[in-house]
């Protein structure tokens, strides 16, 4: 089975046939004896349906015919026929649902088709050519669904392969035109999806989605009772998208909406389309809460004191939904998605659920409610009730949740995996809440979604997957990935996630392999950048402005991405521009603009504190970028004559607390008086790795802030950048020329002279060393001199110490440079395999290019005592210890994986150096059940940083050593290790990787 699927996946690349992501491919665009014509010679093969099939299948067949027309320019006819119809046609496409379409049942019996592979299988389908399927038809391509959605998914699956993207309407991806379309006679098939209910949750939908929908789907006033714009015109567009993505489940918008009240047609149409409706974790019994309760509820939202009224309220929800496909949310939270009152205890909540099942029993007139789909979502504090022993009936699906930041809080443990109701996952790519909202643009890595959700598959949480997609639009690809993974997780693994993004880019834009690969990398880079820290959490000093060239390097990468995207955008054909803008260009330019704006503001603040005139340029640049940020929003809104007006309404600049600001406001900037010279003279000198500036007093020059000693630059042989810089800048309006000289032949300064003026207010002088000429330790003096008209010469000396470190010629591994040793986790010297488990690379996961985690993870949750499990070894060479005290400090950068294997099995790993004993780290502190540890929250917490820094101290003499990382518990993800030998400075990402010999 696996090899077969891999083969199918390879076909996506090998053959210029159909492109459909993660599916078996059966469409082709040139005929052969093994193909069946859908469109050829300008003629479309007619589609035959049966009047007694599901109306939702009939409806999807209309889409299918329109898709064929969009691709091939000819629309096939659609006809209801019966076995008795007089037909005299050579070819037909027969579509229908097994056991429902009398036509399909007739074909099955007439042609003696074997349908056992799909019979009774949830959402499965087969399709293939059948000769003489019916009297009067020579040959037909027969598309058979095992049930309603099996037929619908079969049709949309073929549409996608023919060239119609699921995002044709929602992201304006044009159909990929082919004058002729064929299918392989052997056809396509699909068994039941891995995850039974695969859905999305529209949430946090104000301002963007709601304002947009108000303009596009109403005449300016929303629903009478709620003002909601989300009526059936809106929802039918959404239902179609969900089905095209092979999803089947929806939690509707709730902020000021009530799905079944806002437009009574919506609920009927959902069922007609084939969408299973639910309500969110906080809305029991198919009623929007608190909206509907506030409108119709009597008394307090309290099951203990107001049981009669609450019961009647829920009964209405059940009655109203009774005739449709639903999953009933059980349980109860406080109004407004808040915890229930502290007085709500376990027996109280058990009584709520018993009462709700009683309602189902009477509404559905059955004593057995176990066949009615029900779900209890263990969101936030609700999980605490469960962990404290609350009992829920076995047939109720337990919906586990993430921490709202993509880290699943708990997976079913072995003893929980055999419940008849199974388990599911509620996951987020958008969130409103602590430590700060993130709901502007795409910021989740697909490699991380894969890592968490594939673990959910391993641990049997496959009954329901629901993704909080916020306003939907900015998260097109992540949404598709989530649903695609749920459809068939078996074809995706840690090593082929890039092929998903590549296939997605190819399907949407149909560019050359090189350009498609470039888009793939752009998507990985932009989501990596935004997942390091959500755009909403950036500030002017997130990235270090002085250490490790961190801010500059971040900007360089973003600038390159911006240029690459702009080049593709300008060259892509006009009909694809709107799609490219929404899916690639906007997220990249918006990300670059915002980051550049924040970093410019930071540089402005720093330069001003250093009395440097160039601060003013950064002030102007910050303002320009603040405007450019809005220009990008306007450009999005003006696409296609305003089709997506308001979709980028989300504010995202300057937060005063966790909630969205009511307007974007300019980051704080300042200016230096440009007409007056700084007190020490026309020249300002600033050094890499320092916030200080010379000459003159500055608290960053030395601790006491005045009479500071001559500044010192220390530089060593293995510093990763190979040079260090000195900025010469204007300290006011007066132009000057400068010289930079040293008293050592081994020290090179480049440039060694220059001119500074208000028009050219700074020059960067790089210092580099010819190590062949330096003894163990080289001392030099750098002299800077500035000459301005009618002023005395201004000078500044700098002491330069060159540390000629060296390692034995036979050493291989990472070498200390610039104060420490920094190692990307994937770059181990060796690793070991124990019991078949080994630390394996997770490409595109985390802050840098990859991470490592023990694989296979399996379901058995195997663990090891420290020092006995699979290990990673990193050889390194050190020259120093912290303040010469014999110690080094090791910081492991681990992903914020939570204690999801149960309270008694916290995540952990161990670290050792050489043959010393391993130090074990359980890095997620225990928390009250249902809560997260304190260290998770806050602007410097695990969630905001999207990393946990784990520190260990070791006594290690300078020399060659081996650092070992040991598996203790499964699912730990290591991204990077930094060994501080005394000189590691503050930064967001840690020092760049050390030189490896
Ligand atoms: C087939 O019959 C159904 C049920 O009467 C109807 O809704 C549908 O429009 C018909 N389809 C065509 C193509 O005539």
Q: How far, in Å, is the centroid of ligand 1 from the Cα of 499?
A: 40
Query: Both 865 and 936 in a single domain?
Result: yes
Alpha helices by DSSP H, 572-720: 574-580, 586-609, 615-638
Which residue, judged by its Cα, is nearest atom 4 of ligand 1? 51
Residue 415 lies in a domain: no
Question: For the purposes of burial, counting CB atoms within 10 Å of the CB of 623, is it exposed (0-12), middle (13-18) or buried (19 or more)?
Answer: middle
Task: Answer whether residue 329 is part of any domain.
Answer: no
- In a domain, residue 35? The reply is yes
In the chain, pLDDT over 90 holds for what percent of residues?
92
Instruction: Tell whether 119 is covered by a domain.
Output: yes
- Ligand 1 atom closest to Cα of residue 78: 13
The model's pLDDT over 121-133, given as tens digits with 9 standing for 90+, comes to 999 999 999 999 9
Ligand 1 centre from 226 Cα, in Å?
A: 35
Residues 834 and 914 in one domain: yes
| Boundary residue ending a domain (168, 190, 212) | 190
We report the CATH number of the domain holding residue 885 as 2.60.120.1620
- Ligand 1, atom 7, lies closest to the CA of 55
Q: What is the pLDDT of residues 555-582, one digit of tens each?
A: 999 999 999 999 999 999 999 999 999 9
3-state helix, strand, coil in the chain (%, to 5): 30, 25, 45
Report which protein residue has its CA nearest ligand 1's atom 6: 51
Same domain, 832 and 906: yes
Structural domain includes residue 206: no
In whole angstroms, how far apart are CA 665 and each of 67, 95, 346, 630, 647? 45, 56, 46, 11, 19
Predicted confidence at residue 858, as pLDDT, reads 72
Residue 19: the pLDDT is: 58
75/45 Cα distance (integer angstroms) = 9
Does the pLDDT at position 235 exceed 90?
yes
Which 3 state secondary structure label does DSSP give 110? helix
**Pair 177, 29 in one domain:** yes
Question: pLDDT tens digits, residue range 832-845?
Answer: 999 999 999 999 99
Tell me which residue has its CA closest to atom 1 in ligand 1: 51
| Per-residue pLDDT tens over the stretch 66-106 | 999 999 999 999 999 998 888 899 999 999 999 999 999 99
Q: Give residue ranges with CB within 6 A of ligand 1.
A: 49, 51, 58, 78-80
Which of 777, 803, 829 is a domain's end point?
803
What value does the mean pLDDT take over residues 366-373?
A: 97
Residue 51 Cα, ligand 1 centroid: separation in angstroms? 5
Confidence of residue 948 (pLDDT cuts 50, 70, 90): very high
How far, in Å, from the CA of 80 to the mean position of ligand 1? 6
Give the mean model confidence (pLDDT) for residues 523-530: 98
Span 424-449, average pLDDT? 97
Q: How far apart are CA 969 and CA 897, in angstroms?
A: 11
Confidence at 928, pLDDT banded by 50, 70, 90: confident
CA 43 to chain centre: 43
For residue 50, report the distance from its CA to the centre of ligand 1, in Å: 8
Please check whether residue 788 is in contact with residue 751, taking contact to mean a CB–CB distance below 8 angstroms: no
Q: Whose CA is nearest to atom 2 of ligand 1?
A: 51
How high is the pLDDT of residue 344?
Answer: 63
C-alpha 762, offset from chain centre: 39
CA of 137 to the centre of ligand 1 (A): 20
Atom of ligand 1 nearest to the CA of 79: 13
Query: Is 114 domain-assigned?
Result: yes
Does the pLDDT at position 173 exceed 60?
yes
261 in Cβ contact with 226 (< 8 Å): yes
The encoded tokens of residue 492 equal 């995706």
Does residue 931 register a pLDDT over 50?
Answer: yes
**For residues 719-746, average pLDDT:** 98
- 854-905 pLDDT, tens digit per residue, is 999 976 789 999 999 999 999 999 999 999 999 999 999 999 999 999 888 9
Exposure class string for 11-25: b at 16+ Cβ within 10 A, else e? ebeeeebbbbbbbbb
- Ligand 1 mutation pick, 53, 58, 64, max ligand atoms within 8 A of CB: 58
Contact 230, 181 (CB under 8 A): no
pTM to 2 decimal places: 0.96
Domain boundary among the residues 190, 213, 229 is at 190
Ligand 1 atom closest to Cα of residue 52: 4
My answer on whether 851 and 957 are in the same domain is yes
Q: Do residues 622 and 706 both lie within one domain?
A: no
Average of per-residue pLDDT across 210-230: 97
Q: Which atom of ligand 1 is nearest to the CA of 80?
A: 1
Residue of 46, 51, 96, 104 to test ligand 1 pocket, by largest number of atoms within 8 Å of CB: 51
Which residue puts its alpha carbon closest to atom 11 of ligand 1?
80
Which positions ≥6 away from 540 have C-beta within 8 Å?
598, 599, 601, 602, 605, 667, 668
Under DSSP, is residue 612 helix (H, G, I), strand (E, B) or coil?
A: coil
CATH number of the domain that 108 lies in?
A: 3.30.379.10
In the chain, how many domains are there? 4
579 with 543, same domain: the answer is yes
725 shares its domain with 759: yes
Please tell me the distance between residue 161's alpha carbon and the centre of ligand 1 in angstroms.
26
Concatenate the DSSP letters of all residues of 762-789 into one string: EEEEEEEE-GGG--SEEEEEEEEEEE-T
Q: Is residue 754 part of a domain?
A: yes
How far does residue 275's CA lie from ligand 1's centre (Å)?
20
Q: From ligand 1's centre to the CA of 58, what distance in Å?
A: 7
Structure tokens at 444: 């989740």
Same domain for 952 and 822? yes
Q: Are residues 576 and 708 in the same domain?
A: no
Residues 576-599 pLDDT 10s: 999 999 999 999 999 999 999 999
Are residue 759 and residue 855 in the same domain, yes or no?
A: no
CATH code of the domain in which 761 resides: 2.60.40.10
Taking the centre of ligand 1 as the mean of its atom positions, its distance from the CA of residue 52, in whole angstroms, is 9
Position 625 scores a pLDDT of 98
Looking at the fold, whether 601 and 545 belong to one and the same domain comes out as: yes
For residue 85, report the distance from its CA to the centre of ligand 1, in Å: 15
What pLDDT is stored for residue 343 in this prediction? Answer: 60
> What CATH number does the domain containing 605 carry?
1.20.58.2150
Pocket test for ligand 1, best of 62, 76, 80 (most atoms within 8 A of CB): 80
Nearest atom (ligand 1) to Cα of 55: 7
Q: What are residue 145's DSSP bridge partners? A: 97, 125
Q: What is the tally of helices (H) and strands (E) in the chain? A: 21, 39
Residue 780 has pLDDT above 90, yes or no: yes
| DSSP structure string for 544-599 | -SSSTTHHHHHHHHHHHHHHHHHHHHHHS-HHHHHHHIIIIIHHHHHHHHHHHHHH
Domain that holds residue 826: 814-980
Q: Which two tokens mark 445?
A: 């890595």
CA separation for the pair 39, 46 (Å, rounded)? 10
**C-alpha 101 – ligand 1 centre gap (Å):** 12
- Is 138 inside a domain boundary? yes
**What letter would DSSP give residue 339?**
P
Please, are residues 425 and 453 in contact by the beta-carbon 8 Å criterion? yes
Q: What local confidence, expressed as pLDDT, does residue 342 receive? A: 59
Give 694-712 pLDDT, tens digit per residue.
Answer: 999 999 999 999 999 999 9
């Amino acid at each position: 089975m696996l090899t077969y699927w891999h083969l199918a996946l390879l076909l996506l690349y090998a053959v210029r046939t159909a492109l459909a992501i993660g599916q078996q491919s059966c469409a082709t665009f040139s005929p052969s004896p093994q193909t069946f014509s859908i469109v050829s010679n300008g003629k479309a093969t007619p589609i035959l349906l049966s009047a007694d099939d599901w109306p939702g299948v009939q409806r999807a067949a209309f889409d299918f015919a329109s898709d064929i027309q969009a691709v091939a320019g000819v629309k096939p006819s659609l006809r209801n026929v019966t076995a008795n119809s007089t037909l005299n046609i050579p070819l037909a496409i027969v579509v229908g649902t097994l056991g429902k379409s009398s036509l399909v049942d007739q074909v099955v019996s007439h042609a003696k088709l074997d349908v056992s592979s799909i019979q009774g299988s949830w959402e499965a389908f087969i399709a293939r050519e059948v000769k003489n399927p019916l009297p009067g038809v020579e040959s037909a391509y027969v598309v058979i669904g095992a049930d309603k959605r099996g037929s619908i998914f079969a049709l949309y699956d073929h549409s996608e392969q023919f060239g119609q993207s699921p995002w044709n309407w929602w992201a304006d991806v044009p159909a990929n035109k082919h004058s002729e379309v064929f299918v392989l006679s052997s056809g396509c098939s699909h068994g039941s999806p891995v995850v039974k209910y695969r859905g999305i949750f529209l949430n946090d939908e104000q301002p963007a989605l709601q304002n947009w929908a108000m303009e596009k789907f109403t005449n300016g006033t929303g629903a009478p009772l709620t003002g909601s714009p989300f009526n059936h015109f809106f929802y039918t567009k959404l239902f179609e998208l969900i089905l095209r993505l092979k999803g089947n489940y929806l939690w509707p918008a709730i902020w000021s909406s009530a799905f079944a009240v806002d437009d009574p047609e919506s609920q009927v149409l959902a069922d007609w389309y084939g969408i299973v409706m639910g309500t969110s974790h906080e809305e029991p019994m198919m009623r929007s809460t608190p909206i509907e309760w506030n409108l119709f509820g009597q008394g307090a939202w309290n099951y203990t004191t107001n049981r009669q009224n609450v019961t009647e309220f829920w009964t209405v929800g059940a009655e109203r939904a009774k005739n449709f496909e639903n999953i009933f949310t059980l349980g109860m939270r406080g109004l407004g998605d808040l915890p229930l009152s502290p007085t709500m205890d376990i027996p109280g909540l058990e009584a709520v659920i018993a009462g709700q099942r009683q309602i189902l029993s009477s509404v559905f007139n059955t004593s057995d409610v176990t066949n009615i789909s029900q779900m209890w979502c263990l969101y936030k504090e609700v999980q605490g009730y469960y962990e404290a022993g609350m009992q829920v009936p076995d047939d109720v699906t337990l919906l586990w949740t993430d921490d709202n930041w993509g880290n699943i809080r708990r997976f079913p443990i072995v003893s929980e995996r055999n419940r008849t109701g199974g388990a599911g996952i509620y996951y987020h790519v958008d969130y409103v809440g602590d430590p700060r909202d993130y709901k502007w643009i795409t910021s989740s890595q697909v490699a991380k979604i894969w890592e968490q959700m594939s673990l959910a598959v391993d641990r049997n949480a496959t009954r329901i997957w629901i993704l909080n997609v916020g306003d939907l639009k900015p998260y097109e690809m992540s949404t598709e990935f989530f649903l695609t993974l749920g459809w068939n997780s078996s074809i995706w693994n840690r090593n082929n996630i890039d092929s998903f993004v590549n296939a997605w880019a190819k399907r949407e834009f149909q560019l050359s392999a090189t350009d498609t690969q470039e888009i793939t990398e752009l998507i990985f880079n932009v989501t990596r950048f935004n997942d390091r820290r959500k755009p909403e959490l950036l500030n002017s000093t997130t990235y270090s402005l002085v250490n490790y060239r961190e801010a500059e390097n971040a900007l360089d990468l973003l600038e390159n991405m911006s240029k690459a995207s702009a080049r593709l955008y300008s060259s892509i054909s006009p009909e694809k521009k709107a799609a490219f803008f929404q899916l690639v260009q906007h997220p990249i330019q918006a990300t670059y603009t915002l980051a550049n704006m924040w970093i410019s503001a930071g540089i402005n603040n720093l330069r001003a504190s250093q009395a440097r005139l160039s601060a003013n340029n950064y002030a102007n640049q910050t303002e320009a970028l603040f405007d450019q940020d809005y220009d990008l929003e306007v450009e999005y809104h003006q696409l296609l004559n305003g089709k997506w007006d308001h979709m980028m309404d989300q504010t995202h600049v300057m937060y005063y607390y966790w909630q969205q600001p009511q307007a974007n406001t300019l980051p704080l900037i300042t200016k230096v008086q440009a007409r007056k010279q700084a007190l020490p003279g026309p020249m300002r000198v600033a050094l890499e790795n320092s916030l200080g500036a010379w000459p003159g007093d500055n608290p960053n020059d030395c601790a006491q802030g005045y009479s500071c000693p001559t500044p010192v630059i220390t530089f060593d042989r293995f510093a990763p950048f190979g040079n260090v810089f000195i900025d010469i800048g204007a300290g006011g309006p007066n132009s000057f020329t400068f010289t930079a000289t040293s008293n050592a032949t081994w020290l090179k300064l480049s440039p060694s002279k220059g001119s500074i003026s208000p028009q050219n207010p700074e020059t960067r002088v790089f210092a580099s060393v010819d190590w062949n000429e330096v003894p163990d330790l080289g001392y030099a003096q750098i002299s800077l001199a500035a000459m301005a008209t009618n002023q005395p010469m201004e000078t500044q000396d700098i002491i330069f110490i060159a540390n000629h470190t060296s390692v034995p010629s036979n050493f291989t591994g990472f070498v200390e440079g610039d104060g420490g040793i920094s190692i990307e986790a994937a770059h181990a010297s060796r690793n070991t395999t124990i019991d078949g488990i080994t630390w394996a690379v997770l490409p595109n996961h985390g802050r840098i290019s990859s991470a490592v985690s023990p694989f296979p993870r399996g379901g058995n949750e195997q663990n090891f005592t420290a020092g006995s499990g699979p290990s990673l070894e990193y050889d390194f060479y050190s020259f120093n210890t912290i303040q010469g005290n014999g110690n080094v400090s090791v910081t492991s950068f681990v992903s914020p994986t939570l204690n999801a294997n149960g309270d008694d099995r916290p995540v952990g790993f161990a670290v050792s150096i050489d043959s010393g004993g391993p130090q074990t780290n359980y890095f997620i502190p225990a928390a009250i059940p249902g809560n997260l540890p304190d260290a998770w929250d806050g602007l410097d917490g695990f969630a905001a940083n999207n990393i946990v820094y784990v520190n260990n101290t070791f006594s290690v003499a300078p020399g060659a050593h081996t650092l070992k990382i040991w598996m203790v518990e499964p699912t730990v993800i290591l991204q990077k290790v930094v060994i501080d030998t005394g000189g590691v400075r503050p930064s967001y990402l840690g020092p760049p990787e050390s030189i490896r010999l």
